[in-house]
Amino acid sequence: MMSLLVVGAIVVSIVLGYRFKLNIGLFAIAFAYLIGCFGMGMSPKEVIATWPLKIFFIIFSVCLFYSFAIVNGTLEKLAEHLMYRCRNVPSLMPFAIFLAATVISGLGAGYYTVLAFMAPITLLLCNRTGLSLIVGGMAVNYGALAGANFVSSQSGIIFRTLMTSSGVSDNQAFINARWVSSPAP
């Protein structure tokens, strides 16, 4: 019964969010409080403790920086720059998308952030150049994966942290993480 109530609250949150043009999350938080405190007998502190903070901050940061990129024109400029550079050899467009995704991910953005950032650019490029959506999607995905394992990116930092927490020195962890991110000989 409680599961149906939760699913109903999600549906009502979505409907109210679209109806009043407000963030759906605001309604979802209100329903979480009502269901948690009055339906499940939890304290407000316990309800807040169930909030998935890691997921929230990932979504928040992606939305925040993605909106900056839209407002200041970075997405459009990057797409135009890639199209201009590949104008004489359009078959290189997937490689340019791959390289751009790898560099952005390797600079520290991480896998999911690059997918959220590069997907609209790739769709725009695919529509304007006639590139297959599958090829464009694969270029973004593999580029984000390749860059995510760099020492300076999120996965590289996770690798180093795991190594140092298991007793490996900082210097050796950095060297090992470098070898994780480099291609096999």
CA distance 94 to 125: 10
Please write the tens of the pLDDT for every residue from 138-180: 999 999 988 887 777 777 777 778 888 888 887 787 777 666 6
The structure tokens 């903070």 sit at 53
Please write the tens of the pLDDT for every residue from 86-140: 888 888 999 999 999 988 888 877 788 788 888 888 988 888 888 999 999 999 9
The first and second tokens of residue 37, run together, are: 């405190």
Residues in the chain: 185
CA distance 181 to 171: 16
Beta strands in the chain (DSSP E): none
CA distance 136 to 124: 10
- Whole-prediction pTM: 0.60
CB 94 within 8 Å of CB 131:
yes
Q: Domains of the chain: which residue ranges?
A: 2-51, 59-148
